[in-house]
Amino acid sequence: MTDTVSDQTPAPATLVTPALSILSACGVFAVLQVIAMRMAGGFEYPLDDPYIHLALSETIAMGGYGVNLQELSSPGSSPLFPLLLLPFNGTDMHRFVPLAWNILGLIAVAWLWGRLLVEAGYCRPRWRALGIAAAVLGPIALMMPMVAFVGMEHSLHAAAALAVVLGLHRHFKDGSGTGLIIAGAFLGTALRFEGAALALLAAGALFLSGKRPAGLVTAVAGLLPIALFTGWLTAIGLDPTPSSVQAKLVIEDELSMWQQRLAVLMTNLRGLPGMLIAALAIAILGLWRLSPAIKTRGWGIFAGVIMLAALAHLAFGQMGWLNRYEHYILVAAGAGFLALLPKALEGRPPTLTATGAVVALLAGGLIAYNMPRQFVDLPRAARAIHTQQGQMAVFAKTYLDTPIAVNDLGWVAFQNPNYVLDLWGLASKEALERRLNDPTPGWTGELTDRHNVPAALVYDHWFEDGLGARWVRIGVLDLTVEGGFLGGYSVAFYATDDAHVGMMRDAVSAWIPTLMPNSRFRWDEGMAP
């Protein structure tokens, strides 16, 4: 197959366009980091989730799996990401490994974005203005630097998804791209299970377009990480579904599968990001059905892959949590739409409608994600983690130095040689089962007694009557500024028995003088020394 749209592309543009995307994405990322460091007083992630994966990688390095070496658990839903965090284990540099991977992921996804624009024909003279706009504003409108700022596997996952899209584009353009599709399918599901839909749809596209062996290999590559990971969890005695996923699932037993899917779909479509993804899917459908060039030259299969993958995420996936869960499909759908648009015009100059469609995509992303707020909310989130979770970690590891119970796992578990009891259940199968299936009054106290844990740092409102019956509250750590993605602005400090009250009071007394700005500790009545 040939594609006249991308003919006669000026050679310098093949480098300049991806470079513009990289500079735009990395420039915004750098600005976010500078604002956050000034606000927080140091480097920090806006969620504590990177520290969960760092703690998991520490245990993997010691031959276990979970947060505690002596307790198997599956606190991370990504098969590959904890393995990528193994370098520099046990050193001060280990904390920055997620940052390094996200910088690499950001560069990769921005380069793939720019490269797709080149190959789709946006560097031809009459399309160049739209190409420059898409190269510079596309990474920002589709949240590439903001998701990289989170510090999780989602930027790498978006790069894998975009590799599949670019590979499919090459396949339908000139028959190449198979290796890129297979690599993207494998890495996509190795990083996130949500990558399975795009991988299998890409496999189907190869199969339907005549490359049946390549289609089968792509399907195997996409399913292999899932099979290996669930097989590994089962082999070590854990459920095949990671506890981090189970802890967040809320399933209504009285609903049928189709009712559950409809409920998820309606929930995802309530927000502007879900509407944007749905609008991209509808726009791709419109191009497919209305353009003879797309219908007759095989691009309809390409359109079907992108459209169905977007609908699959809306019906089965999650949205939000700093906009990271939908990031891969947002980038893939945006790239797919832009790739199809010049083909619908069969090489002609962009019409007013086509120009408006590109502008609508870019403006839609900026509006749906309230872009100006990102430069406020994300730095505030980093400050919140640094001030609350970071100081809890200092208290637990430096001043208390005993086993401890928490309900918001992360900083406290990272580089902590003591046992950490996760009462919410991400890192404790026992706690997860009690919380979900048998939350009798005082159940958390039964767990702290069983594991000989003398202290607990929890959000009171998460448990209500589930707090230990013999627990003694020492006081509360308050965050005195708003903003951030926390379970609460106040963390209660408990001794799990009268015998541990003195130890807790002494540790808190020694720790209080080190408190950072924007925080305070309030002693409960009669507890202050």
Residue 260, amino acid: Q
Report the distance separating Cα 313 and Cα 308, nearest Å: 9
Report the distance separating Cα 110 and Cα 133, nearest Å: 14
pLDDT score for 241: 86
pLDDT tens, N- to C-terminus, the chain (529 residues): 444 444 455 566 688 999 999 999 999 999 999 999 999 999 999 999 999 999 999 999 999 999 999 899 999 889 999 999 999 999 999 999 999 999 999 999 999 999 999 999 999 989 999 999 999 999 999 999 999 999 999 999 999 999 999 999 999 999 999 999 999 999 999 999 999 999 999 999 999 999 999 999 999 999 999 999 999 999 999 999 888 777 665 544 566 777 888 888 899 999 999 999 999 999 999 999 989 889 877 899 999 999 999 999 999 999 988 899 999 999 999 999 999 999 999 878 999 999 999 999 999 999 999 999 999 999 999 999 999 999 999 999 999 999 999 998 899 999 999 999 999 999 998 999 999 899 999 999 999 999 999 999 999 999 989 999 999 999 999 999 999 989 999 999 999 999 999 999 999 999 999 999 999 999 999 999 8
Q: Which residues contact 238 (CB under 8 A, 6 or more apart)?
A: 72, 73, 74, 429
Report the distance separating Cα 372 and Cα 415, nearest Å: 36
Domain ranges of the chain: 4-44+76-369, 379-523
Residue 280, amino acid: L
User: What Rg do the C-alpha atoms of the chain give, in angstroms?
Assistant: 25
Q: How far is CA 117 from the centre of its chain?
A: 25
Output the CA–CA distances (angstroms, integers) from residue 134 to 27, 289, 333, 367, in the order listed: 16, 24, 14, 16
Residue 296, amino acid: T
**Helix (H), strand (E) counts: the chain:** 22, 6
Q: What angle do CA 281, 283, 285 make, to 5 degrees?
A: 70
Phi first, then psi, for residue 492 (nearest 5°) are: -85, 135
Contact 117, 131 (CB under 8 A): yes
Contact 358, 335 (CB under 8 A): no
> pTM (2 decimals)?
0.94
Question: Left if phi > 0, otherwise alpha if psi is -120 to 50, otherwise beta: which for 479?
Answer: beta
In order, the DSSP letters of 375-396 are: HHHHHHHHHHIIIIIHHHHHII
Report the distance separating Cα 6 and Cα 355, nearest Å: 17
Residue-wise burial string across 104-133, b where 16 or more C-beta atoms lie within 10 A, e elsewhere: ebbbbbbbbbbbbbbbbbbbbeebeebbbe
pLDDT score for 178: 97
Contact 88, 94 (CB under 8 A): yes
Look-up of token digits 């700093």: 322
Q: Which CATH class is domain 379-523?
A: alpha beta
Output the CA–CA distances (angstroms, integers) from residue 2 to 7, 177, 222, 343, 402, in the order listed: 9, 14, 28, 11, 67
Contact 148, 328 (CB under 8 A): no
